[in-house]
């Protein structure tokens, strides 16, 4: 009996090695960039708030503001470590959770759906081995992250560093276990990632709700979320180690459930039934554009929903920023630094709409790279063998990528206008103003998309390098001013060249230049695509 049980794990070490080999770039990229962000935050806090008094005043203002508590969580300690734990203590572990859930689904359901697990499963591999290997990989990555963060923050105090590192590691392991369960539910890997990701989003919202509660309010709600536990481990503020037991309990529960589910189902099957599709194509599924729309619409709606929600949240936070500025001079300086000098709220709104613009660059790269996916997976071939020319095929996806970016910026702008306008009773004035500020970001968004088109046309094998363009833009925009990088580095990002609307007036010259460059890059990319081999 014992032998048959251990036998179901046979092959696990080889599968772990396979996963590490396949993710030899992805895991280090995730882990290192998260660690750098956390350690960079600590160093920027120590630069900006070198004195205990300055930090205490920052902490007092932050703790007094409900909308900021919702965004970042409560402040527990006023040391540099304590403020780092406040600033990154919720967003950081959430990102670690995102990493592990993607990893686990990638090595379980995605392998199964692609039919590769069948090949592996026919070898000397136990029934529980693939799930075990993916959990080891996912939890291993998050524990590696925990170790790096601990090492990076050692100078701020060893005990707090261990606790803060463990907050990342524990949340990472919880969402690895969540993904282990969702991977058993659906036949499609995309759906499994979607469900696990949605649960992560819910965990964040639940924590935000609890943290936003006024003193005496339903603060306990935050205890319903693993992200709330991560904060309540109190790194750098009288650590509460027993909170780790909560994590351990949930992980054990979820992993047990995942093993029970994997034991009870067939290969390729999911617990949720897969619905049959229509027998014939609907009226709108015609032409290259109909197909491209069908393939891209799901992702666009998901993004637009995210933009609407975050726009509302950012907008609603604006009023709190204004109150904060009246009580704390140093925060006012910090935000003015990011946005300009006009008015504090406008600087904040400008920084946030700029942030949404940089995220839209990620969207547009992803939408443009659909073309490459279609090509390299062989789905473009049957389409191009019909009366659809290459240019029309490419244009169908590019038009949706560009129009999708417009939709996102308009949705973000309107939502931000509503969120802020409602708090200052000026919805009709703020909505057009913020929508305009959103549209100003578009030339920079489209420019990043055009870079992707050029690479796709001229060097298709390097298409994935387009991601570096998007992430470089995002990294420069988020951390450039904070880390006080030199001017030429900041100039690398198209977003640096945009006018800081709504603080500053929109000037047409940089926008026109970006649009001209965008048109030129797109045209050369398409010309190259037209003359190269496909496949």
Q: Which residues bind other proteins (CB under 8 A)?
A: 113, 187-188, 190, 274, 276-282, 285-288, 290-291, 294-295, 298, 377-379, 381-390, 531-535
- Smallest CA-to-CA distance from 433 within 450, 419, 447, 443 is with 419
Peptide bond into 170 cis (omega under 30): no
Nearer to other proteins, 123 or 298 (CB): 298
Neighbouring residues of 397: CB distance < 8 A, sequence distance ≥ 6: 292, 295, 296, 367, 368, 370, 371, 374
Is the sign of the CA dihedral 262, 197, 255, 137 positive or negative?
positive
Q: How far is the CB of 289 from other proteins (least distance, A)?
A: 11
Q: In angstroms, how far is the first alpha carbon of the chain from the final one?
A: 51
Q: How far is the CB of 247 from other proteins (least distance, A)?
A: 35
Q: How far is the CB of 178 from other proteins (least distance, A)?
A: 23
The answer to whether the beta carbons of residues 81 and 156 sit under 8 Å apart is: yes
Nearer to other proteins, 17 or 294 (CB): 294
DSSP tag of 280:
S
The answer to whether the beta carbons of residues 267 and 121 sit under 8 Å apart is: yes
Nearer to other proteins, 42 or 102 (CB): 102
Nearer to other proteins, 44 or 396 (CB): 396
For residues 496 and 508, what is the distance between their CA atoms, to the nearest angstrom?
A: 15
The answer to whether the beta carbons of residues 115 and 232 sit under 8 Å apart is: no
- Smallest CA-to-CA distance from 449 within 427, 475, 470, 476 is with 470
Nearer to other proteins, 295 or 485 (CB): 295
**282 burial class (0-12, 13-18, 19+ CB within 10 angstroms)?**
exposed
Q: How far is the CB of 381 from other proteins (least distance, A)?
A: 6
DSSP character string of 377-414: TTSHHHHHTTT--HHHHHHHHHHHHHHHHHHHHHHHHH
DSSP character string of 32-64: HHHHHHHHHHHHHHHHH--SHHHHHHHHHHHHH
Is the sign of the CA dihedral 31, 34, 39, 40 positive or negative?
positive
Q: How far is the CB of 525 from other proteins (least distance, A)?
A: 18
Nearer to other proteins, 391 or 483 (CB): 391
Nearer to other proteins, 215 or 273 (CB): 273
Is the sign of the CA dihedral 434, 439, 444, 446 positive or negative?
positive
How far is C-alpha 432 from the chain's CA centre? 28
Nearer to other proteins, 388 or 490 (CB): 388
- Smallest CA-to-CA distance from 437 within 528, 514, 299, 339 is with 339
Nearer to other proteins, 110 or 211 (CB): 110
Q: How far is the CB of 382 from other proteins (least distance, A)?
A: 6
For residues 179 and 225, what is the distance between their CA atoms, to the nearest angstrom?
A: 16
Q: How far is the CB of 234 from other proteins (least distance, A)?
A: 45
Nearer to other proteins, 268 or 491 (CB): 268
């Amino acid at each position: 009996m014992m032998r048959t049980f251990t036998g179901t794990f046979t092959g696990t070490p080889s599968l772990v090695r396979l996963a590490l080999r396949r993710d030899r770039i992805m895991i280090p990229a995730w882990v290192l960039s998260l660690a750098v962000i956390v350690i960079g935050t600590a160093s920027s806090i120590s630069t900006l708030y070198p004195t205990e008094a300055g930090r205490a005043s920052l902490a007092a203002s932050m703790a007094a503001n409900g909308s900021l508590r919702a965004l970042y969580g409560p402040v527990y300690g006023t040391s540099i470590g304590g403020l780092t734990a406040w600033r990154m203590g919720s967003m950081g572990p959430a990102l670690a959770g995102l990493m592990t859930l993607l990893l686990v689904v990638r090595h379980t359901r995605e392998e199964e759906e692609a039919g590769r697990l069948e090949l592996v499963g026919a070898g000397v591999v136990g029934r529980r081995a693939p799930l075990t290997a993916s959990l080891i990989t996912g939890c291993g990555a998050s524990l590696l992250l925990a170790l790096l963060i601990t090492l990076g923050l050692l100078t701020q105090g060893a005990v707090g560093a261990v606790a803060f590192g463990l907050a990342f590691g524990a949340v990472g392991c919880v969402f690895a276990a969540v993904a282990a369960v969702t991977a058993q539910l659906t036949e499609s890997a995309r759906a499994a990632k979607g469900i696990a990701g949605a649960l992560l989003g819910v965990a964040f919202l639940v924590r935000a709700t609890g943290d936003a509660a006024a003193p005496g309010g339903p603060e306990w709600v935050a205890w319903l979320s693993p992200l709330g536990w991560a904060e309540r481990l109190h790194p750098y503020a009288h650590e509460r180690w027993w909170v780790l037991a909560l994590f351990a309990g949930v992980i054990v529960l979820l992993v047990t459930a995942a093993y029970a589910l994997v034991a009870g189902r067939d290969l390729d099957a999911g617990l949720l039934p897969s619905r049959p599709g229509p027998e014939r194509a609907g009226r709108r599924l015609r032409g290259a554009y109909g197909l491209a729309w069908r393939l891209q619409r799901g992702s666009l709606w998901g993004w637009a929903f995210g933009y609407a929600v975050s726009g509302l949240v950012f907008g609603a936070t604006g009023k709190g920023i204004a109150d904060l500025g009246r009580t704390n001079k140093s925060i006012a300086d910090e935000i003015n630094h990011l946005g300009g000098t006009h008015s504090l709220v406008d600087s904040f709104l400008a920084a946030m709409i700029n942030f949404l613009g940089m995220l839209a660059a990620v969207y547009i790269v992803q939408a443009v790279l659909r073309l490459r996916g279609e090509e390299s997976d062989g789905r473009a071939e049957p389409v191009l063998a019909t009366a659809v020319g290459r240019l029309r095929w490419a244009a169908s996806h590019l038009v949706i990528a560009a129009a999708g970016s417009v939709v996102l910026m308009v949705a973000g702008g309107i939502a931000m206008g509503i969120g802020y306008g409602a708090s200052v009773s000026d919805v009709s004035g703020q909505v057009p103003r913020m929508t305009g500020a959103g549209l100003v970001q578009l030339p920079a968004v489209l420019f990043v998309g055009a870079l992707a088109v050029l690479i796709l046309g001229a060097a298709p094998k390097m298409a994935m390098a387009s991601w570096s363009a998007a992430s470089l833009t995002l990294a420069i925009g988020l951390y450039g001013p904070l880390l006080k990088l030199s001017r030429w580095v900041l100039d690398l990002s198209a977003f640096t060249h945009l006018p800081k609307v709504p603080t500053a007036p929109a000037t047409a010259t940089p926008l026109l230049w970006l649009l001209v460059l965008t048109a030129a890059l797109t045209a050369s990319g398409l010309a190259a695509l037209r003359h190269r081999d496909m496949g």
